[in-house]
Amino acid sequence: MAVPPPLPEPNDKADLRRRLRAARRAFVAGLDATERAEALAAVHDRLAPLLARPGSIAGYVAHRGEVDILPFLLGAFHLGRMVALPHVAEGSPTMSFAAWHPDATLTPGLAGILQPDATGEALVPDMLLVPLVGFDRAGNRIGQGGGFYDRWFEAHPQAMRIGIAWSVQETSPIAPDPWDMPLHAIVTEKEWIAP
């Protein structure tokens, strides 16, 4: 009788990313238009208290089933807040943030993710809304694997780090790598998680 292969180690982040991305795709595909609108509205409602905090806000352009927070960022912009989006120059190992406004042209960057032009001075936002592949209740995150957010967090540890995900992206405790910095909070369509 053949022995089945061992289960992947809990810290096998490549396998974990595959499973979490599949869960995210299935979740989004299973929502009808009304359910999707309600789920997005729930996330945006949970983010609303952040508008009472001073400072600039950085977000992202949703890609491959990530939670779309551009409507929230648009609302922040119309309230007079400085809003920024990430920018990765071709071949660069680092990410910066560029100012964003509703009429800004967004062009495909790394992995086809839309980003603003970074012709002006890079911004250092006070709060970051971070897209997640996965997260745990302790504030550990699984990102895309490129390390762009990790490097930015290390250089700017004072920025408030808030992960944005669907609830199905929660996983069992993640063993953080030495360079990982935990999130201050995670927001899903179901709850605000404060580790």
Q: Does the pLDDT at position 66 exceed 60?
A: yes
In a domain, 163, yes or no: yes
The CA radius of gyration of the chain, in Å to the nearest whole number, is 17
State residue 133's pLDDT score. Answer: 97
| Terminal alpha carbon distance of the chain | 46
Q: Is residue 127 part of a domain?
A: yes
Does residue 25 have a pLDDT over 50? yes
Pairing of β 160-164 and β 106-108: unpaired
Q: Which of 116, 124, 160 is nearest to 139 (CA)?
A: 160
Q: Which amino acid is at 86?
A: P
Tokens linked to 119: 């012709």
Supply the pLDDT for residue 174.
Answer: 93
Closest listed residue to residue 163, CA positions, set 190, 187, 136, 194: 187
Question: pLDDT tier at 7 (50, 70, 90 boundaries)?
Answer: very low
Residue 4 falls inside a structural domain = no
Report if residue 107 sits inside a domain: yes
pLDDT one-digit tens code per residue, 131-175: 999 999 999 999 988 889 999 999 999 999 999 999 999 999 998
Query: pLDDT, tens digit, for every residue of 97-128?
Result: 999 999 989 999 888 889 888 776 789 999 99
Work out the percent of the chain whose per-residue pLDDT is above 90.
Answer: 74
Task: Work out how many domains the chain is built from and give that number.
Answer: 1
The answer to whether position 166 is within a domain reads: yes
Distance CA 186, CA 192 (A): 6
Q: Which of 45, 87, 57 is nearest to 161 (CA)?
A: 57
Nearest to 56 by CA among 112, 113, 123: 123
pLDDT at 151: 93
CB atoms within 10 A of CB 114: 15
- Token pair 């595909």 in the structure block, residue: 29
Domain carrying residue 79:
13-193
183 pLDDT above the threshold of 60: yes
Q: Is 130 helix (H, G, I), strand (E, B) or coil?
A: strand
For residue 3, tell me if it sits in a domain.
no
Within a domain: 158: yes
Position 3 pLDDT exceeds 60: no
Q: What is the pLDDT of residue 118?
A: 76
The domain that contains 71 carries what CATH number? 3.40.50.10420
Average pLDDT, rounded, for the chain: 90
Domain annotation covers residue 178 = yes
pLDDT at 77 over 50: yes
The predicted structure's pLDDT at residue 1: 36
